[in-house]
Chain A
Amino acid sequence: MAGLRLDRITKRFGAAAPVVDGVSLDVADGEFLAILGPSGCGKTTLLRLIAGFERPGVGSVRLGDRLVADEKTHVPPEDRHVGIVFQSYALWPHMSVGENVGYPLRTRGIKGADYRTQVAAALEAVGLSGVDGRRPASLSGGQRQRVALARCLAMSPDLVLLDEPLANLDVHLKASLLDEFQRFQARTGATMLYITHDQSEAMALADRIAVMAHGRIEQLAPPQTLYRSPATEFVADFIGMGGVVGVDVLDAAGGTATIEIAGYRATVRAVPDQATGPARVCLRPEDLVLATEGLPARCRRARYQGGEWLVELTIDGQDDCELQMLAKPGAVPAPGAAVRLRINDGWVIPAKPG
């Protein structure tokens, strides 16, 4: 078992802007960490750097106390002992399920009874006993991903990389495989790094989530912190619903701040050393309620979500900033209607250092 430490990793292809730009990351031994970001943010390149399929231009990768990559060192993927579960499963079509699962054992020279026991154990662990002899092509998508997981299990890796492993599966299979991943981690205690663009997967699984954009890590925090206290406007937009509006911070101390928008004052959360003056505030749907007195806003449209309505609003004077709130059936304002809002909670996005 081992943690993972990335130190200021930068990777560029050709002369273009770096795909991964100065990423540092500490993953504790046995932690489940998700890397979340939109497509093109560099998360897959980061995974390939950790696996050893790419070499960093600058920076270093350590697995436990082992240096596996820096400017001079490059331990090839086959010697890193890192398991990968691919989005495409990457099962070898010319081998049976059992041969696929047993491949990492054979590369380490494990044969005979040991080999058979371990293959059977790995398949049993993912609930696929008795399919050893079948070809991967004869299995369903969910079963194939379980085989890929079993193959990973068989190599008992120190670190498991999961590269959007659920992207090709439907919603129900996703749920059952999410359970499978959690069981996998509980059983092996392996450090897991889960790459995804789907925040619900990341939130459901991860101890901490690193949000990536443009090759950088925007914020690394537990899911609740990410949602409640986004470090940047990008994170505020990318995670969850709600919106970001411009405000004036009148007073701030000890983690709360008094803000003013369009003549309306409210108290929200902030960093302890929040300065006064213009700032941006993240307001989640549940932070807002309709009121008789309060912030003047206008309803743009309302969508039924099942149970509740999601109402999209703009604050008077900030027509380009959309906010969302939830409304019970019967209390949904009509599109175009002027409404008043009460702000129960919110988060002042901290100013960027420098």
Chain B
Amino acid sequence: MSSASLIRRGQSIVAERSLYWGLAALLTLIAILPVGRLLLEGVAPGGVPGLAPFRRVLADPATWVALGHTLDVSLAAMLISGAIGGAMALVVALTDLPAKSMLVFGFIMLLMVPSQITTIAWIELLGPSSALLHLIGLAPAPGSRHPLYSATGITVLLGLEHAPLVFLGLRTALRALPGDLIEAARASGARPPRVVRTVIVPLMGPSLIAGMTLAFVSNIGNFGTPALLGIPARFPMLTTLIYQRLSGFGPRVLSEVAVLSLVLGVIAILGVAFESWLTGRRDVRVDGAAATPVRLSLGAWRWPVILLVWGFLTLTLLVPLSALLVTALVKAYGQPLSLATATLENFRFILFEHPAARRALVNSFGLATAAAMLLCLAAVPVAYFAVWRRRHLMRALVMATELAYALPGVVLAIAAILFFIRPVLGVSLYNTLGIILIAYLARFFTLAERPVAAAFRQLDIRLEEAAQMAGAGFMRRVLTVALPLVAPAAAAGGLLVFLTAFNELTVSALLWSAGHETLGVVVFSLEQGGDNTLAAAIASLTVAATIGLMAIASFLTRNLAHPVLPWQA
């Protein structure tokens, strides 16, 4: 071998190793160290071993009240999600319903529109000042208590918001169900209801329960809905209790809120572990080959089902979002909307004059852009090492980031505070946008990585081996083979990160500081402060941005063989 080629080979190895270890260090920093610090705080508050905060928290009746509320509401909401998401998955995956793509897009919006925005929309829809209810004469009396400020209100909204999680898991499983299992049952004389009962439900049961478990985990970690509905109703849940403690007493109660967030975290981890166990043992013994897709004809039920699903979407998505827009368009809260009262003043004010809102717009946009770009850049090589090269450390770190996503945002935020409250390596991130960015990187890494990993799994590793045989070094292979092949998936993942980070509230509600607000925080405080029209204006803009970004992501990935975005039917 000539010395020049030896040098080239050496450089290639160095490039590969430094990239690998750099990525491993980054993932460790964002996904493992803060959570590790939180665990340490549980057994050694302030660095001194001891269980005093544990005892204090467990002896506090407020803990048990909040825990009870959290479990009650989350379990009930999970059942709602299971019923709605399960029915929707059956209809979408198994029948010949027309216009499925639009239906799925709309249904997934229940999940993609951030929790606080959905909640504000429903508050506007059903409250005493509801323009829509005034139109039909059903508005609650002025001054009466808002009907949603209750455990029932929280339960129903959480159930709606997280129904798409059940839908997504079940739809994936139904798609893998060979159609001839159903056809064999029908040829054996079973009518559709019997087919559902004896074949589909037994085969899909584990997936349904897995999806419901995910919904449950999302319920216990949700902050926007219980904060906007539960705080005025004096109905504390674990997330809102943590938030109120920390914003009321500041960092000196950190040890106690750390214990509270550990309680929340443990429930979430148990849920996720149960879910992945179920998903792992799901019946994948697909018999033989040639799985024909299932298409049950709705026949005479066609129109009733169309009316039902679209009516449901209209009532749960379109009507509340219209109520939101109506509130954003009136001059003063409670005014009916008419040509005389309609104004764009609220939009002008929050975009150009309200200082916090303007700052928040810039901050959220910057945070979301930075998170999306950094994660896109990191996700490609990480997925490459984890999927194509099957490197164990990278696979383990990817699992750690999955965990960071599964943990409630409140837990991750407390972990970030604990880890960064003192300067790390001489850099002080506490009370800056930096801490929010790092928390976003940890929380949303998996959103960027999953589509890329899925793309790598679909691609044949021989593509890279052929490049290797052709003499391409590591960097050349990654840049000329791997990157172009997964670029659309990476872009879709990046947009998903942008979308989620731009709309984020839970993490930033605990990590923001004066001058470093996010859009979520500003909407939340405007709504809490009674500036409903301004909150509605920002919320309307957020919804428009969400729809736009979802459409862009769909457009970018329209040519991929397999859909990588959740809302693609």
Interface residues of A (CB under 8 A from B): 51-53, 55, 76-84, 86-94, 103-104, 107-108, 136-137, 141, 144, 148, 151, 155, 168
Chain B residues with CB below 8 A from A84, complex form? 183-184, 187
Which of the listed residues B180, B187, B191, B297 has the most CB atoms from chain A within 10 Å of its own CB? B187
Chain B residues with CB below 8 A from A144, complex form? 287-288
Contact between A87 and B290 (Cβ–Cβ < 8 Å)? Answer: yes
Chain B residues with CB below 8 A from A141, complex form? 288
Distance between Cα atoms of A323 and B194 in the complex (Å): 57
Closest 8 CB pairs of A and B: A88-B288, A104-B188, A90-B180, A107-B189, A90-B184, A77-B186, A93-B285, A84-B187
Contact between A136 and B287 (Cβ–Cβ < 8 Å)? Answer: yes
Kindly provide the distance from the CB of A94 to the nearest chain B CB, expressed in whole angstroms.
Answer: 5
Distance between Cα atoms of A141 and B181 in the complex (Å): 16
Question: With A86-B180, A87-B289 given, is the CB distance from A92 to B199 under 8 Å?
Answer: yes
Contact between A91 and B188 (Cβ–Cβ < 8 Å)? Answer: no
Which of the listed residues B183, B191, B283, B287 has the most CB atoms from chain A within 10 Å of its own CB? B287
Distance between Cα atoms of A107 and B297 in the complex (Å): 20
Contact between A94 and B190 (Cβ–Cβ < 8 Å)? Answer: no
Contacting residue for A78 out of B186, B203, B285, CB 8 A:
B186
28 CB < 8 A contacts A-B: A53-B183, A53-B186, A76-B186, A77-B183, A78-B186, A78-B190, A81-B189, A83-B187, A84-B184, A87-B289, A88-B178, A88-B180, A89-B288, A90-B180, A90-B287, A90-B288, A91-B184, A92-B181, A92-B184, A93-B287, A94-B202, A94-B283, A103-B190, A104-B188, A108-B189, A151-B184, A168-B288, A168-B289
B332 contacts the other chain (CB 8 A): no
Contact between B291 and A88 (Cβ–Cβ < 8 Å)? Answer: yes
Chain B residues with CB below 8 A from A87, complex form? 288-290
Chain A residues with CB below 8 A from B11, complex form? none
Chain A residues with CB below 8 A from B199, complex form? 92
Distance between Cα atoms of A93 and B185 in the complex (Å): 13
Which of the listed residues B194, B289, B290 has the most CB atoms from chain A within 10 Å of its own CB? B290
Chain A residues with CB below 8 A from B178, complex form? 88, 90
Kindly provide the distance from the CB of A42 to the nearest chain B CB, expressed in whole angstroms.
Answer: 15
Chain B residues with CB below 8 A from A81, complex form? 189
Contact between A88 and B287 (Cβ–Cβ < 8 Å)? Answer: yes
Chain A residues with CB below 8 A from B202, complex form? 94
Chain B residues with CB below 8 A from A76, complex form? 186, 191
Which of the listed residues B188, B198, B285, B287 has the most CB atoms from chain A within 10 Å of its own CB? B188
Kindly provide the distance from the CB of B348 to the nearest chain A CB, expressed in whole angstroms.
Answer: 50
Chain B residues with CB below 8 A from A82, complex form? 187
Chain A residues with CB below 8 A from B289, complex form? 87-88, 168
Question: With A78-B189, A88-B290 given, is the CB distance from A93 to B180 under 8 Å?
Answer: no
Interface residues of B (CB under 8 A from A): 178, 180-181, 183-191, 194, 198-199, 202-203, 283, 285-291, 297
Residue of B nearest to A84 (CB): B187
18 extra interface residue pairs, beta carbon distance < 8 Å, beyond A53-B183, A90-B181, A103-B185: A55-B297, A76-B186, A77-B183, A80-B187, A84-B183, A86-B288, A88-B287, A88-B289, A90-B178, A91-B184, A92-B181, A92-B184, A92-B185, A94-B203, A94-B283, A107-B189, A137-B285, A148-B184
Contact between A104 and B189 (Cβ–Cβ < 8 Å)? Answer: yes
Distance between Cα atoms of A88 and B194 in the complex (Å): 22
Kindly provide the distance from the CB of A335 to the nearest chain B CB, expressed in whole angstroms.
Answer: 37
Residue of A nearest to B190 (CB): A107
Distance between Cα atoms of A290 and B326 in the complex (Å): 93
Chain B residues with CB below 8 A from A79, complex form? 189
Contact between B184 and A86 (Cβ–Cβ < 8 Å)? Answer: yes
Chain B residues with CB below 8 A from A88, complex form? 178, 180, 287-291
Chain A residues with CB below 8 A from B285, complex form? 93, 136-137
Contact between B203 and A91 (Cβ–Cβ < 8 Å)? Answer: no
Contact between A51 and B187 (Cβ–Cβ < 8 Å)? Answer: yes
Distance between Cα atoms of A91 and B286 in the complex (Å): 9
Contact between B188 and A103 (Cβ–Cβ < 8 Å)? Answer: yes
Distance between Cα atoms of A80 and B291 in the complex (Å): 23
Distance between Cα atoms of A87 and B288 in the complex (Å): 8
Kindly provide the distance from the CB of A146 to the nearest chain B CB, expressed in whole angstroms.
Answer: 14
Contact between A155 and B183 (Cβ–Cβ < 8 Å)? Answer: no
Contact between A91 and B189 (Cβ–Cβ < 8 Å)? Answer: no
Residue of A nearest to B288 (CB): A88
Kindly provide the distance from the CB of A258 to the nearest chain B CB, expressed in whole angstroms.
Answer: 50
Kindly provide the distance from the CB of B297 to the nearest chain A CB, expressed in whole angstroms.
Answer: 8
Chain A residues with CB below 8 A from B186, complex form? 52-53, 76-78
Which of the listed residues A52, A76, A107 has the most CB atoms from chain B within 10 Å of its own CB? A107
Chain B residues with CB below 8 A from A108, complex form? 189
Distance between Cα atoms of A80 and B180 in the complex (Å): 17
Chain A residues with CB below 8 A from B189, complex form? 78-79, 81, 104, 107-108, 155
Distance between Cα atoms of A86 and B181 in the complex (Å): 9
Distance between Cα atoms of A89 and B288 in the complex (Å): 7
Contact between A107 and B187 (Cβ–Cβ < 8 Å)? Answer: no
Distance between Cα atoms of A89 and B289 in the complex (Å): 9
Contacting residue for A103 out of B191, B198, B290, B297, CB 8 A:
B198
Chain B residues with CB below 8 A from A86, complex form? 180, 183-184, 288
Distance between Cα atoms of A29 and B194 in the complex (Å): 31
Distance between Cα atoms of A85 and B372 in the complex (Å): 51
Kindly provide the distance from the CB of B181 to the nearest chain A CB, expressed in whole angstroms.
Answer: 5
Distance between Cα atoms of A162 and B187 in the complex (Å): 12
Distance between Cα atoms of A331 and B287 in the complex (Å): 50
Chain A residues with CB below 8 A from B283, complex form? 93-94
Distance between Cα atoms of A168 and B288 in the complex (Å): 7
Residue of A nearest to B184 (CB): A90
Kindly provide the distance from the CB of A231 to the nearest chain B CB, expressed in whole angstroms.
Answer: 31
Contact between A107 and B194 (Cβ–Cβ < 8 Å)? Answer: yes
Contact between B183 and A90 (Cβ–Cβ < 8 Å)? Answer: yes
Chain B residues with CB below 8 A from A53, complex form? 183, 186
Question: With A88-B291, A93-B203 given, is the CB distance from A107 to B180 under 8 Å?
Answer: no
Distance between Cα atoms of A211 and B291 in the complex (Å): 25
Distance between Cα atoms of A82 and B183 in the complex (Å): 11
Chain A residues with CB below 8 A from B288, complex form? 86-90, 141, 144, 168
Distance between Cα atoms of A128 and B194 in the complex (Å): 27
Chain B residues with CB below 8 A from A90, complex form? 178, 180-181, 183-184, 287-288
